[in-house]
């Protein structure tokens, strides 16, 4: 019996060393960030009746929102405990907002598809069924099981939903090393963390193609965000030179999260967000001007806790901005959505 016990202890220790070795090798051999290859994404069709409905193609009414898996305005952990009706109430509040704004394209980040923390609800399906919209393009960026933590299972996505037909969906994902103050936590969390998504969707509006870039940039460090912004501008210049386009999402501008040091260097440097105007001919942003300081940009904050602006919406020169706002009356998430209404310039047709 003692011999058998020693055998199992030896096997357990060996497996423990093996697992620890895997995490250590991943940490020390991988770069601080890595932008992955382009991949084809899913296009989901939810409502056949949408095809026969007349959708007004004269205006693009675009909402960009980090939904934060509908966990409300204050998130203390990755899986704060709430009753199921808490999440459905927050989703219903968001759905009502989409209707009130008469949006026809929505860029979403942090949508749970099958997570214990949100009662294994498919939030995308819940939204689409109640809106009655026809088209969605999801990119799963976290699909992980944590057997020894309260999160257990998390599956979440970055998604574009649209009243207009979605004709293509491609994406790239960036792995980023975390920067918790606890270094051991960094090593063992790294292979388990979500990846940061940049997504390009094409929609067909009144017979013409419009490019929609939906992003959720890396939250962990500025270097990754700057590299992602450079990649994104090259991608746009390559793929959308001859079409109108929008670029929105959560850019995590000067972002940091609990348990990580305040990024003093990032806060003191010129806003990387301004490089979109510098590198994309004729591009504008709905609520800011060229070369604005970080202080000026943050006046239109979308993240209440830090009074920072994380969420932006850029548009190409073929689109004319009609109205824009940060919507601070909704409490479904710890972010506020940004909204823009656009007309097509005459020369775009």
| CB of 177 closer than 8 Å to CB of 186 | yes
- Quick: pLDDT tens for 30-65: 889 999 999 999 999 997 665 545 677 889 999 999
pLDDT for 187 beyond 60:
yes
Residue range 213-226: mean pLDDT, rounded: 97
| Per-residue pLDDT, 252 | 98
Close Cβ partners of 272 (under 8 Å, ≥ 6 residues apart): 222, 225, 226, 229, 253
The answer to whether the predicted template modeling score (pTM) of the entire model surpasses 0.75 is yes
CATH code for residues 32-348: 3.60.10.10
Residue range 147-156: mean pLDDT, rounded: 85
Average pLDDT over the chain, rounded to an integer: 92
Domain ranges of the chain: 1-30, 32-348
78 — pLDDT class (breaks 50, 70, 90): confident
pLDDT for 184 beyond 90:
no
| Per-residue pLDDT, 139 | 99
Ramachandran region, residue 185 (left: φ > 0; alpha: ψ -120 to 50; beta: rest): alpha
| CB of 308 closer than 8 Å to CB of 235 | no
Cα 317 to Cα 289: distance, rounded to the nearest angstrom: 14
Cα 70 to Cα 275: distance, rounded to the nearest angstrom: 31
Structure tokens at 83: 């009753």
pLDDT for 348 beyond 60:
no
């Amino acid at each position: 019996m003692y011999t058998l016990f020693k055998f199992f202890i030896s096997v357990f220790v060996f497996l423990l060393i093996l697992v620890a070795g895997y995490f250590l090798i991943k940490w020390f051999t991988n770069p601080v960030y890595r932008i992955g290859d382009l991949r084809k994404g899913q296009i989901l069709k939810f409502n056949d009746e949408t095809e026969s409905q007349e959708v007004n193609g004269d205006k693009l009414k675009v909402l960009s929102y980090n939904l934060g898996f509908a966990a409300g305005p204050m998130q203390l952990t990755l899986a704060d405990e709430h009753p199921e009706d808490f999440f459905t109430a927050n989703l219903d509040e968001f759905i009502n907002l989409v209707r009130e704004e008469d949006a026809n394209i929505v860029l979403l980040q942090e949508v749970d598809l099958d997570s214990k923390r949100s009662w294994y609800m498919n939030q995308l399906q819940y939204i689409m069924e109640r809106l009655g919209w026809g088209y969605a393009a999801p990119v799963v960026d976290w699909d992980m099981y944590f057997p020894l933590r309260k999160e257990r299972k998390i599956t979440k996505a970055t998604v574009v939903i649209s009243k207009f037909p979605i004709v293509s969906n491609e994406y790239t994902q960036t792995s980023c090393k975390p920067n918790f103050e606890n270094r051991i936590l960094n090593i063992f969390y790294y292979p388990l963390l979500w990846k940061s998504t940049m997504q390009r969707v094409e929609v067909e509006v009144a017979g013409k193609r419009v490019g929609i870039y939906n992003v959720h940039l890396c939250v962990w460090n500025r270097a990754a965000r700057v590299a992602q912004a450079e990649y994104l501008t090259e991608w746009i210049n390559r793929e959308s030179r001859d079409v109108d386009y929008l670029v929105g999402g959560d850019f995590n501008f000067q972002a940091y999260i609990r348990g990580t040091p305040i990024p003093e260097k990032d806060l003191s440097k010129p806003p990387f967000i301004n490089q979109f105007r510098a590198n994309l001919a004729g591009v504008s942003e709905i609520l800011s001007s060229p070369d604005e300081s970080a202080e000026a940009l943050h006046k239109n904050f979308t993240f209440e806790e830090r009074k920072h602006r994380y969420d932006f919406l850029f548009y190409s020169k073929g689109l004319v901005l009609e109205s824009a706002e940060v919507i601070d009356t909704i409490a479904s998430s710890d972010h506020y959505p940004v909204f823009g209404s656009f007309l097509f310039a005459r020369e775009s047709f």
